[in-house]
């Protein structure tokens, strides 16, 4: 066993923004440093499935509350009030309970025809081209278009959603120029959403904003600032994650032609393939928590007040939780992956993300008998965050 802070064949010092395949590093760390103190950045890293599942289940010890840090910028004030992902119970429980009444699985299932139309319209724009770039053509615009329709926002305002999502996530998959004044963009977003909310309060419709305005549990309803924060959260969770899930699914199927052939032969295998992508190459490969008190994982004591990186990407490759975890298997059963998190913070938008990925990949397979990923795939931030996926295709 190495001492904390020592290198293990150089692996411990892997950069947090390394875009190479992290699987060998994950395996080494699970074996030799499953709970490791990174002295350079003052953080703790956790790599084993059992430890990460335990930490995600213990919100009293491993806190998600980041509101104090985020509230330093006045423009983020509404975001902190409605973003239940950076809250612990009971605040998290209250907001999520209210949102769940308007964002259930059944509502997402009714959305499928609309998602299918959006996907087909985007594919029609590149139909006939022998080559096109997946992120720009489909994976990036599709979830924003879906979200705009879901929220009942005018389609002419879609470009605004792209800009605001870029500011909120700090990620621009288009590699375009960043907004010159991010704070001004956030103020614009807050004012826009407050106006939408006011109009829905006066005349509710069938859209998600109206359902959120009307959502009620035990005579409790959402305040305007909370609604702004919730819609802002949807811009993050409903945009970047869906984009990456589509891109990573295409990459995984390209890298495993036998499994791709299995899915083409049996479309019923597609949902299982998406679950396997969430395990094998999920874009959210790490989650951040802060300890509120001393905690022990794998025999290591983590002090109170520590920043902890929970490597869900490593947990998803842990042989103690998955048989033959290095194999991409679209027929895998009992897939206990942590691709959408675990516990009270399990991703509320998981049904929508799964729906968007299933429809996007299903329509691509139906309309393109051949899909080949070309060289020069571009990454940013990590192995599973994709900026560019050039494709060569053949159309029906």
For range 274-287, the mean pLDDT: 94
Secondary structure (H, E, C), 306-354: CEEEECHHHHCCCCCCCCCCCCCCCCCCCCCCCCCCCHHHCCCCHHHHH
Beta bridge partners of 309: 45, 288
| CA proximity to 250, closest of 265, 258, 260 | 260
**Of 59-68, 132-141, 300-309, where does mean pLDDT reach its minimum?**
59-68
**Of 14-18, 254-258, 311-315, 325-329, where does mean pLDDT reach its minimum?**
14-18
Look at residue 72 in the predicted model and tell me its pLDDT: 56
| CA proximity to 173, closest of 197, 208, 121, 137 | 137
Residue of 339 and 219 predicted with greater confidence:
339
- Domain annotation covers residue 5: no
Torsion sign across C-alpha atoms 36, 40, 42, 47 = negative
Count up the domains in the chain and report the number: 1
Question: What range defines the domain where residue 119 resides?
Answer: 23-394
Contact status, residue 242 vs residue 142, Cβ threshold 8 Å? yes
The mean pLDDT value of the chain amounts to 87
| CA proximity to 241, closest of 319, 355, 132 | 355
Does residue 302 have a pLDDT over 80? yes
Look at residue 244 in the predicted model and tell me its pLDDT: 93
- Domain annotation covers residue 14: no
Does residue 1 have a pLDDT over 70? no
The percentage of residues in the chain with a pLDDT greater than 90, rounded to a whole number, is 56
Does residue 88 have a pLDDT over 90? no
pTM above 0.85, yes or no: yes
Contact status, residue 192 vs residue 160, Cβ threshold 8 Å? yes
Confidence tier at 102 by pLDDT (50, 70, 90)? low
Residue of 142 and 7 predicted with greater confidence:
142
DSSP string, 71-101: TTSGGGHHHHHH-GGG--TTHHHHHHHHHHT
Contact status, residue 75 vs residue 194, Cβ threshold 8 Å? no
CATH code, domain with 78: 1.10.630.10
Say how far residue 253 (Cα) sits from the centre of its chain.
20
Q: What are phi and psi of 51, to 5 degrees?
A: -65, -45
Does residue 199 have a pLDDT over 60? yes
Say how far residue 321 (Cα) sits from the centre of its chain.
22
- Domain annotation covers residue 249: yes
Confidence tier at 189 by pLDDT (50, 70, 90)? confident
- Domain annotation covers residue 2: no
- Domain annotation covers residue 8: no
- Domain annotation covers residue 289: yes
Contact status, residue 55 vs residue 62, Cβ threshold 8 Å? yes
For range 154-159, the mean pLDDT: 88
- Domain annotation covers residue 299: yes
For range 67-89, the mean pLDDT: 65
**For residue range 208-262, what is the model confidence (pLDDT) as tens digits?**
889 888 877 667 788 888 888 888 877 766 788 899 999 999 999 999 999 999 9
Sheet of 390-394: strand order equals 131-133, 390-394, 370-373
Residue of 113 and 232 predicted with greater confidence:
113
**For residue range 2-44, what is the model confidence (pLDDT) as tens digits?**
343 344 444 577 888 889 999 999 999 999 999 999 988 889 9
DSSP label at 155?
A: G
- Domain annotation covers residue 16: no
């Amino acid at each position: 066993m190495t001492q904390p802070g020592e290198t293990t064949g150089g692996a411990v010092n892997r950069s947090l923004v390394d875009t190479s395949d992290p699987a060998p590093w994950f395996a080494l760390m699970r074996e030799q440093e499953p709970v490791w103190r990174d002295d350079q950045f003052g953080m703790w890293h956790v790599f084993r499935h059992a430890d990460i599942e335990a930490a995600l289940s213990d919100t009293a010890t491993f806190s998600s509350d980041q509101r104090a840090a985020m509230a330093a910028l006045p423009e983020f004030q509404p975001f902190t009030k409605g973003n239940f992902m950076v809250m612990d119970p009971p605040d998290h429980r209250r907001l999520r309970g209210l949102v769940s009444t308007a964002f259930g699985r059944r509502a997402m299932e009714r959305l499928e025809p609309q998602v299918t139309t959006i996907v087909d319209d985007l594919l029609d724009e590149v139909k006939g081209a022998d080559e096109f770039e997946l992120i720009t053509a489909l994976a990036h615009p599709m979830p924003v278009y879906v979200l705009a329709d879901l929220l009942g926002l005018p389609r002419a305002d879609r470009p605004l959603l792209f800009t605001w999502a870029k500011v909120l996530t700090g990620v621009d998959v288009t590699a375009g120029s960043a907004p010159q004044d991010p704070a001004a963009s956030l103020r614009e977003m807050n004012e826009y959403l407050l106006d939408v909310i006011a109009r829905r309060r006066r005349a509710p419709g069938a859209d998600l904003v109206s359902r959120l305005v009307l959502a009620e549990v035990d005579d409790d309803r959402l305040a305007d600032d909370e609604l702004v924060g919730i819609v802002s959260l949807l811009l993050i969770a409903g945009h970047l994650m869906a984009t990456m899930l589509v891109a990573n699914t295409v990459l995984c199927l390209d890298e495993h032609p036998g499994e791709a052939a299995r899915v083409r032969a049996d479309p019923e295998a597609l949902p299982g393939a998406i679950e396997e992508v969430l395990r094998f190459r999920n874009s959210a490969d790490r989650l951040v928590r802060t300890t509120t008190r001393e905690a022990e994982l794998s025999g290591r004591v983590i002090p109170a007040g520590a920043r902890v990186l929970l490597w869900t990407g490593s947990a998803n490759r842990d042989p103690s939780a998955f048989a033959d975890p290095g194999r991409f298997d679209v027929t895998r059963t009992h897939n206990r992956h942590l691709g959408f998190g675990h516990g009270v913070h399990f991703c509320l938008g998981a049904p929508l993300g799964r729906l968007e990925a299933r429809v996007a990949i299903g329509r691509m397979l139906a309309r393109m008998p051949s899909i080949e990923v070309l060289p020069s795939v571009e990454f940013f931030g990590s192995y599973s965050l994709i900026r560019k996926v050039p494709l060569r295709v053949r159309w029906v």
